[in-house]
């Protein structure tokens, strides 16, 4: 396989496996934010790192075919608006700004703590997409530096 | 009590690097060191000897736990530190593109 | 309902982030609409006669975050939203020559969200978080033009600003270590008995150091002289009109008067810092030929007036300080807008190259004449009354030296602004600026609005004093029991 | 808590190394060592939440910093630093450490914090929010407004980076 950008073949072979594992680990950390350590922030940064891992291993042009700038911007905007909507829904339902309006369930199962899971997901989207768009901007900037 | 003092020493190392070093990247490093020192100092304030992490287990729901509030605050402060470092690195890269050097003295006399 | 002040700009920032790329001036419309709504809300907060307390998430005071809007923060809300609204209108045509304007308007809305968040919060750590939002968006806005000087000025501003914020966070850490609570009302209560502990005094000195870096008081004023001229004009009018006031003076006075309680050596510190920055600011400003850099140095000296007024501590002094803060935000942002108008037409900031502009740009020259007279403190205009109060307060508190320095500094300010008028507008010698025409309507509108405001505040100053300034200074004067109202 | 002392002393040595090494890349890697030292310290101080976040954020800031230093031509030049800066900095640091020492000696002893507000969180945290992890219940329910501000800080720095690194800023 012609080595077009990115690192050697061995690294590419390994990254095919590890990228999905890291992605899965990030989603796990986010989903179990209220049960085990971690949460929206840690999960989001792990997701961003998995994409950066992909870009570093396979080179910019290959990685940007799947996850380019517009998708990153859209996801970040979506995450931000979702978090604002969650906070504002507290007003419409319970009349108080950041009210925990969703049913709270019983302590140790997954859907247990109302808006904590939902806002974990919103922060996860925002942090992940935001940090990845920082990395895109940095790498695109360096790219044009060479021309 | 001595461990707080080590934290202060780390913080003053960061401030020393910010004042004395002229290289832009060294200034960012000094900034990162001050952020680290403050985060560590906050968590040291909240530590309780013999207590364990603020995560409840299935069997006993009431545990002797460390102070969870500084941990929540420091989670915010870590991500603020990341935001500042990311922004200052992008500034430094643009400055490097314009002035071709990381040294503030050269930048000042190039600026004229 | 108070959360609207910080949530509405966030919503508009996100909307601009999504829709800004589609059409060119959608982002301007969203931003101006949001700041206009907030301006109306900020005027409404004057008429509510009780302190508005809102607990976020429904938790009781010491456990959740509470938002507090009293008369003192409603004064700042008015200042922030008024200057933001006018700068946004001004930047409609000023920013035409830059592309991808949605970045500019997003950062502007985030700066507005940060400033409003700082003013309405009643929690110490939340104060730090929103202070960070306002600082980072102002670093980004200073570096917006992307030129050599702008990037270097923004980097210097970032380094000094981050040192200031780390001092503030260190102060919060010490206070949390000793009192283990973060709510301002709770802190001020539990400070009743263990006040003179060395950790509290150390935390207070860290706060004063951090916040005086943010207000560019003299020992730390290096960044201001570079940052303000480098920013685009609507931003530098926001920076020196609003940001250094809200982040610095609001934080200082809220901490010193309402949380720690005002005492003798605190007033000494404030008076010393005030007079020092007043005198040094004006001395630095005399030899300047770059119009914006001259204005930046004058901001340092005018902030020195405000800090001196607050430092005196007598009711007259506090009223004078806050009134001067209100006036200074009006005429200083007007002056920066004038500098921007000149730069828009003649592309130069150097006073020597400017010529006989009064015939060619009538509105700009008249409004800058009004602003220069009111900054120097000439009777009919607004600057005179506030400086009068400060000088009277200084003499009544028999601070003879401070009083004389006040008068001397306002004379030097008058001299340097006459120089500005002479070289920029009335200098008949070089004639090469006959062909240019007046600046577009949006810039003219905000400049004339501010000029009229300057005159109105000057003429109807008892009205302004009784409704806006007096209640705000009462909050500071009766200091600590401000929080008793919140807790019960 | 001997291991905390060891970690802190190692971090101070790594910080001094990252300041005084001339080559930029190795000073950035020394900074990484300080960051990972903090992750260990968080683990010993029973803050697993923070250890994960600090570790991952540390990796990201290392990647960003190395991206900046790789590009430079690694010009090792002897900087001449001005005596006035050194004097000013050392005077400030001595005053800071002296008054800091006095202030620390007055704080509650290490390991015995006064938990006035957080005892409510520990007691009531479970039945008020049903979340097992108290830290995320504080972040997202008791002090959710902080986390909103936090997400906005990240959003500001993303937009700031994009606006600084955009290409043609003059039409």
Residue-wise pLDDT for C12-30, tens only, equals 998 888 887 787 778 889 9
pLDDT score for A142: 63
Q: List the single residue in C14, C54, C56 with the smallest CB-CB distance to A84.
A: C14
* D75 in C contact zone (CB under 8 Å): no
Picking from D102, D107, D163, the nearest residue to C144 by CB comes out as D163
In this model, does residue D92 exceed pLDDT 80?
Answer: yes
Confidence of residue C157 (pLDDT cuts 50, 70, 90): very high
The C-alpha of A140 sits at a distance from chain D's nearest C-alpha, in angstroms, of 9
- Residues C214-240 have a mean pLDDT of 86
CB of D57 within 8 A of CB of D101?
Answer: no
Q: At which residue do the structure tokens 């975050």 appear?
A: C65
Q: What is the spatial distance between Cα D45 and Cα C202, in angstroms, rounded to a whole number?
A: 25
- Cβ neighbours of A90 in C, within 8 Å: 57
Residues of chain D with C-beta less than 8 angstroms from the C-beta of C117? 149
* CATH of region B2-111: 1.10.287.3510
C172 or A96, which is more confident:
C172
Distance CA(B42)–CA(B47), nearest Å, equals 9
Of A76, A81, A96, nearest to C58 by CB-CB distance is A96
> How far, in Å, CA of D51 to CA of C111, rounded?
31
pLDDT at A136 over 50: yes
Report CB contact under 8 Å: C178, D121. no
* pLDDT at residue number D10: 94
| Within a domain: A3 | no
- Tell me, yes or no, if D47 comes closer than 8 A to chain B by beta carbon: yes
Out of A74, A84, A96, the one facing C7 most closely (by C-beta) is A84
- Answer whether D149 sits within 8 Å of C130, measured CB to CB: yes
C431 band by pLDDT with thresholds 50, 70 and 90: low
- How many CA atoms, within 13 angstroms, populate the side-chain half-sphere of residue C402? 30
Residue C80's pLDDT is what? Answer: 92
Q: Give residue C487's pLDDT.
A: 73
Identify the weakest region by mean pLDDT among C48-62, C195-209, C329-343: C48-62
**Closest-CA distance of chain A to residue B44, Å:** 19
What tokens does A146 get?
A: 């060479």
Residues from chain A that touch D155, judged by Cβ atoms under 8 A, are 76, 80, 126, 130
Among candidates C356, C368, C366, C374, which has minimal Cα distance to C410?
C374
Could you give the 3-state DSSP secondary structure of residue C195?
coil
Q: Is the pLDDT of residue D109 over 50?
A: yes
Buried-exposed string C96-119: b where 16+ CB fall within 10 A, e elsewhere = eebeebbbbbbbbbbbbbbbbbbb
In 10 A of CB C167, how many CB atoms? Answer: 25
* DSSP states along C328-346: HHHHHHHHHHHHHHHHHHH
- Mean pLDDT value of segment C452-465: 84
* For C130, nearest residue in chain B (alpha carbons): B80
Tokens standing for residue C270: 């404030």
Q: Which band of pLDDT confidence, cut at 50, 70 and 90, is reported for residue A1? A: very low
CA C325 vs. chain centroid, Å, equals: 8
Cross-chain residue pair C110–D117, CB shorter than 8 Å: no
Task: Measure CB to CB from residue A97 to each of C11, C17, C56 and give the nearest one.
Answer: C56
Q: B23 by DSSP, 3-state: which?
A: strand
- Please give the torsion angle defined by the CA atoms of residues C71, C76, C81 and C87, in that order, rounded to the nearest 10 degrees: 160
- Residue C389 CB partners (closer than 8 Å, separation 6+): C309, C316, C317, C319, C320, C323, C324
Which domain, by its residues, includes D65? 1-73
What six digits make up the tokens of B21?
């070093």
Based on the structure, what is the number of domains in chain D?
1
Q: Minimal CA–CA distance to A42: which of C258, D58, C414, D168?
A: D58
Q: Which residues contact C126 (CB under 8 A, 6 or more apart)?
A: C65, C117, D143, D145, D146, D149
Phi/psi for C144 (5° steps) reads: -70, -35
Number of domains in chain A: 1
pLDDT of C202 higher than 70? yes
For residues C195-209, give the mean pLDDT: 86
pLDDT range class, residue D171, cuts 50, 70, 90:
very low
pLDDT digits (tens, 9 = 90+) for C350-393: 777 776 777 777 888 888 888 888 888 888 888 888 888 889 88
Expressed as residue numbers, the domain containing C282 is 4-487
Query: Is residue A20 in some structural domain?
Result: yes
In 10 A of CB D154, how many CB atoms?
A: 25
Position with higher pLDDT, D46 vs B59: D46
Interface contact flag, A84 C57, Cβ < 8 Å: no
Q: Would you state the pLDDT for residue C223?
A: 85
Pairwise CB contact (< 8 Å): D103 & C139: no
Neighbors of chain D with 3 or more C-beta pairs under 8 Å: A, B, C
Q: What is the mean pLDDT of chain D?
A: 86
On whether any CB of chain A is under 8 Å from the CB of B98, the answer is no
Q: Would the CB atoms of D133 and A33 count as touching at under 8 Å? A: yes
| Interval C267-305: pLDDT, tens | 898 899 999 998 999 898 888 888 888 889 999 999 999
Which residue, among D127, D136, D36, D58, has the nearest Cα to A30 in the 3D structure?
A: D136
Closest CB from D93, D126, D150 relative to B12: D93
Q: What is the DSSP string of C254-266?
A: IIIIIIS---HHH
pLDDT at D169: 54
SS3 for B94?
Answer: helix
Q: How many domains does chain C have?
A: 1
Is D122 in Cβ contact with B32 (below 8 Å)? no
pLDDT at C241 over 90: no
A62 found inside a domain:
yes
8 Å CB contact of A137 and B86: no
Whether A134 sits inside 8 A of B58 (CB atoms) is: no
Query: How confident is the model at residue B51, as a pLDDT?
Result: 83
Q: Is B33 on the interface with C (CB under 8 A)?
A: no
C-alpha D50/C-alpha C370 separation (Å) is 55
| C-beta separation of C45 from C58 below 8 A | no
User: From CA C472, how far away is CA C478, in angstroms rounded?
Assistant: 11
Question: Which residue of chain B comes nearest to D35, CA vs CA?
Answer: B36
The pLDDT of residue C426 is above 90: no
**Is the per-residue pLDDT at C99 higher than 50?**
yes
pTM: 0.93
Model confidence band, residue A147 (pLDDT cutoffs 50, 70, 90): very low
Average pLDDT score over residue span C132-146:
91
What pLDDT is recorded for position D73? 64
Specify if D8 maps to a domain.
yes
Is the pLDDT at C483 greater than 80? The verdict is no
CB contact under 8 A, B93 and A137: no
Interchain CB distance below 8 Å, C113 and D155: no
- Is residue D5 in some structural domain? yes
- Give ipTM to 2 decimals: 0.92
d(CA C94, CA B109): 31
Candidate from A36, A87, A137 with C-beta closest to D133: A36
Q: How confident is the model at residue B109 (pLDDT cuts 50, 70, 90)?
A: low
The parent domain of residue A138 ranges over 9-146
Residue to mutate among D56, D66, D135, with most A CBs inside 10 A, is D56
Q: Which tokens sit at A36?
A: 């085990």
DSSP chain A: ----SSS-HHHHHHHHHHHHHHHHHHHHHHHTTTTSS--HHHHHHHHHHHHHHHHHHH-HHHHHHHS-HHHHHHHHHHHHHHHHHHHHHHHHHHSSTT---S----TTSSS-STHHHHHHHHHHHHHHHHHHHHHHHHHHHHHHHH-
């Amino acid at each position: 396989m012609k080595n077009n950008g990115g690192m050697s073949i061995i690294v590419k072979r390994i990254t095919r496996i590890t990228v999905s594992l890291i992605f899965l680990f990030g989603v796990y950390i986010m989903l179990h934010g209220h049960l085990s350590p971690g949460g929206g922030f840690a999960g989001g940064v792990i997701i961003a790192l998995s994409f950066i891992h992909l870009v570093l291993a396979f080179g910019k042009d290959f990685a940007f075919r799947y996850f380019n700038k517009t998708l990153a911007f859209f996801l970040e905007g979506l995450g931000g608006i979702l978090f604002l909507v969650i906070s504002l829904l507290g007003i419409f339902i319970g009349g108080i700004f950041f009210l925990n309006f969703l049913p709270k369930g019983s302590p140790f199962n997954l859907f247990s703590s109302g808006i904590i899971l939902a806002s974990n997901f919103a922060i996860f989207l925002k942090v992940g997409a935001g940090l990845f768009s920082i990395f895109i901007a940095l790498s695109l900037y360096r790219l044009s530096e060479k021309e | 009590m001595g461990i707080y003092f080590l934290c202060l020493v780390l913080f003053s190392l960061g401030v020393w690097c910010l004042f004395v070093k002229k290289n832009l990247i060294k200034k960012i490093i000094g900034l990162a060191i001050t952020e680290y020192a403050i985060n560590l100092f906050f968590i040291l304030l909240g530590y309780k000897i013999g207590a364990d992490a603020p995560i409840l287990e299935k069997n006993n729901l009431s545990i002797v736990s460390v102070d969870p509030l500084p941990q929540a605050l420091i989670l915010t402060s870590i991500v603020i530190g990341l935001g500042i470092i990311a922004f200052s690195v992008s500034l430094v890269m643009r400055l490097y593109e314009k002035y071709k050097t990381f040294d503030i003295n050269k930048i000042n006399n190039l600026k004229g | 309902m108070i959360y609207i002040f910080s949530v509405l700009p966030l919503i508009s920032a996100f909307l601009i982030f999504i829709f800004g790329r589609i059409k060119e001036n959608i982002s301007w419309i969203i931003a101006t609409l949001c700041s206009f709504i907030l301006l109306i809300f900020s005027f409404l907060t004057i008429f509510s006669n009780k302190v508005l307390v809102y607990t976020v998430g429904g938790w009781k005071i010491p456990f959740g975050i509470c938002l507090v809007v009293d008369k003192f923060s409603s004064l700042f809300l008015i200042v922030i939203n008024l200057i933001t609204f006018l700068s946004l209108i001004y930047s409609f045509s000023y920013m035409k020559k830059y592309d991808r304007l949605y970045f500019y308007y997003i950062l502007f809305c985030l700066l507005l969200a940060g400033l409003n968040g700082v003013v309405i919060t009643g929690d110490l750590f939340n104060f730090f978080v929103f202070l960070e939002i306002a600082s980072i968006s102002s670093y980004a806005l200073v570096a917006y033009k992307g030129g050599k000087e702008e990037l270097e000025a923004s980097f210097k501003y970032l380094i000094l600003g981050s040192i200031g914020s780390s001092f503030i966070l260190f102060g919060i850490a010490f206070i949390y270590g000793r009192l283990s609570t973060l709510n301002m009302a709770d802190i001020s209560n539990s400070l009743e008995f263990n006040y003179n502990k060395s950790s509290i005094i150390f935390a207070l000195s860290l706060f004063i150091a951090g916040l005086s870096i943010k207000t560019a008081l003299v020992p730390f004023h290096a960044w201001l002289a570079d940052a303000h001229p480098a920013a685009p004009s609507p931003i530098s009018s926001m920076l020196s009109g609003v940001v250094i006031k809200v982040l610095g003076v609001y934080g200082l006075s809220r901490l010193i008067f309402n949380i720690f309680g005002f005492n003798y050596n605190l007033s000494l510190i404030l008076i010393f810092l005030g007079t020092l920055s007043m005198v040094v600011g004006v001395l630095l400003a005399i030899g300047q030929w770059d119009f914006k850099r001259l204005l930046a140095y004058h901001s340092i000296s005018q902030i020195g007036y405000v800090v001196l007024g607050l430092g005196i501590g007598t009711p007259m002094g506090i009223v004078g300080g806050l009134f001067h803060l209100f006036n200074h935000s009006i005429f200083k942002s007007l002056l920066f807008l004038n500098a921007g108008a000149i730069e828009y037409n003649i592309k130069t900031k150097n006073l020597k190259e400017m010529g006989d502009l009064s015939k060619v740009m009538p509105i700009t020259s008249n409004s800058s004449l009004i602003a220069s007279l009111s900054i120097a403190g000439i009777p009919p205009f607004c600057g005179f009354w506030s400086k009068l109060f400060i000088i009277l307060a200084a003499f009544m508190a028999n601070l003879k030296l401070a009083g004389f320095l006040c008068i001397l500094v306002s004379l030097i300010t008058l001299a340097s602004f006459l120089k500005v008028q002479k070289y920029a507008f009335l200098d008949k010698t070089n004639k090469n600026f006959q062909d240019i025409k007046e600046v577009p309507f949006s810039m003219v509108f905000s400049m004339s609005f501010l000029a009229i405001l300057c005159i109105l505040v000057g003429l109807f100053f008892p009205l302004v004093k009784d409704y806006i300034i007096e209640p705000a200074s009462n909050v500071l004067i009766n200091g600590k029991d401000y929080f008793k109202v919140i807790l019960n | 808590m001997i291991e905390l002392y060891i970690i802190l002393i190692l971090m101070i040595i790594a910080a001094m190394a990252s300041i005084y090494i001339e080559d930029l890349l190795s000073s950035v890697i020394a900074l990484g060592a300080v960051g990972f030292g903090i992750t260990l310290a968080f683990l010993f101080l029973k803050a697993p939440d923070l250890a994960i976040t600090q570790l991952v954020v540390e990796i990201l800031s290392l990647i960003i910093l190395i991206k900046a230093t790789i590009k430079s031509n690694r010009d090792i030049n002897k900087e001449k630093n001005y005596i006035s800066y050194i004097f000013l900095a050392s005077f400030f640091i001595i005053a800071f450490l002296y008054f800091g020492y006095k202030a620390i000696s007055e704080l509650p002893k290490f390991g015995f914090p006064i938990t006035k507000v957080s005892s409510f969180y520990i007691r009531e945290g479970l039945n008020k929010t049903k979340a097992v992890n108290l830290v995320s219940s504080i972040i997202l329910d008791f002090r959710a407004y902080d986390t909103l501000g936090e997400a906005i800080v990240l959003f500001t720095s993303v937009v700031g980076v994009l606006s600084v690194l955009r290409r043609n800023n003059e039409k």
